[in-house]
Amino acid sequence: MSSQKRPSSSSKFIAYQEFGSPTNPDALKRTVPDLPPQQQNIRVQATRSGRKGKTVTVITGFQHTPETLTKLLKQLKSQCGSGGTVKENTLEIQGDHRQQLVDILGSLGYKVKISGG
């Protein structure tokens, strides 16, 4: 028989690992570039698809961290007087507030365009 020792089941033997180390969770996080507003191209669009007929204004094109998007959403919701949410780097404001949001975001320094009909 061979004299090699096999690792016990309680040891931390890793046979294969694809990304980073499990002891450093920061290594797996993706960095999101937090660009200044002047370098971002924002699209504002009103849509009803998949929302049971309710109109929602969708704002896309942001390159911010989730914390910055949450702060911006809070400001936009209070100025529009409606609810909203952040979904995958897009902001959704309840109701059709396209022109009002273009004016607000333009005053904050963003390059904004209305897209769609």
Given a contact cutoff of 8 angstroms between Cβ atoms, the answer to whether 91 and 72 are in contact is yes
d(CA 34, CA 67) in angstroms, rounded, equals 10
Provide mean pLDDT across the span 75-81.
95
| Domain with residues 33-114, CATH architecture | 2-Layer Sandwich (3.30)
Q: pTM higher than 0.75, yes or no?
A: no
pLDDT cut 90: percent of the chain above it? 56
Report pLDDT digits (tens) over 5-50: 665 555 677 777 676 666 766 665 666 678 888 999 999 999 998 8
**Mean pLDDT of the chain, nearest integer:** 85
CA 34, 90, 104, 79 dihedral sign is negative
Report pLDDT digits (tens) over 83-92: 999 998 899 9
Neighbours of 24 (CB within 10 A): 9
The β-bridge partners of 112 are 42
How many helices (H) and strands (E) in the chain? 2, 5
> Given this model, what pLDDT does residue 55 score?
94
> Given this model, what pLDDT does residue 24 score?
66
List the chain domain ranges. Answer: 33-114
